[in-house]
């Protein structure tokens, strides 16, 4: 029974990593990478940092760290920058926005950032599972 439960846990980790990671990469990170490459940076200035720095940090979390999560490489560590970015998005950038998208009335909301934050927290707690590069690397040791 324990082996079957572990199998479900590994599969759950894979589904979360692929689902959330790919959505983050293609829905958010890739656009930020393209904006950086184009040089036409329009982004928020937070924590006394210029928009270019904030955009680069967000892109590294949403694109690069999410790739690590998808392939299952240093998954727990790679989840941290994404969680920090989503925390900042929800509670700094969207601080005055509605909580739920339904109530946003044409504006932004905290909802998606919090959903990503909770999802990547679940990934960090679960770990990468056996369907990952972490597992392959550890098995070779």
pLDDT (average), residues 48-77: 95
pLDDT (average), residues 94-103: 78
Provide the domain limits for residue 96. 2-140
What percentage of the chain exceeds 70 in pLDDT? 94
Report the predicted TM-score, pTM, of the whole model to 2 decimal places: 0.88
pLDDT (average), residues 40-63: 90
What residues does 98 pair with on adjacent strands? 109
**pLDDT value of position 44:** 81
111-114 contacts: CB < 8 A, separation 24 or more? Answer: 113/86, 113/87, 113/89, 114/86, 114/90
Q: How many domains does the chain have?
A: 1
8 A C-beta contact, residue 75 and residue 81:
no
Please, which pLDDT band fits residue 41 given cuts at 50, 70 and 90?
confident
């Amino acid at each position: 029974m324990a082996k079957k439960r572990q199998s479900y846990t590994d599969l759950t980790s894979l589904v979360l990593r692929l689902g959330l990671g790919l959505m983050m990469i293609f829905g958010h990170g890739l656009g930020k990478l393209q904006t950086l490459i184009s040089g036409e940076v329009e982004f928020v200035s937070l924590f006394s940092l210029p928009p270019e720095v904030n955009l680069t940090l967000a892109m590294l979390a949403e694109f690069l760290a999410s790739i690590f999560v998808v392939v299952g490489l240093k998954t727990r560590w790679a989840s941290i920058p994404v969680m920090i970015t989503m925390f900042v998005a929800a509670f700094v950038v969207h601080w005055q926005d509605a909580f739920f998208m339904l109530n946003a009335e044409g504006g932004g909301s905290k909802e998606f950032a919090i959903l990503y934050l909770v999802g990547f927290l679940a990934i960090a707690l679960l770990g990468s599972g056996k369907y990952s590069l972490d597992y392959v690397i550890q098995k070779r040791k």
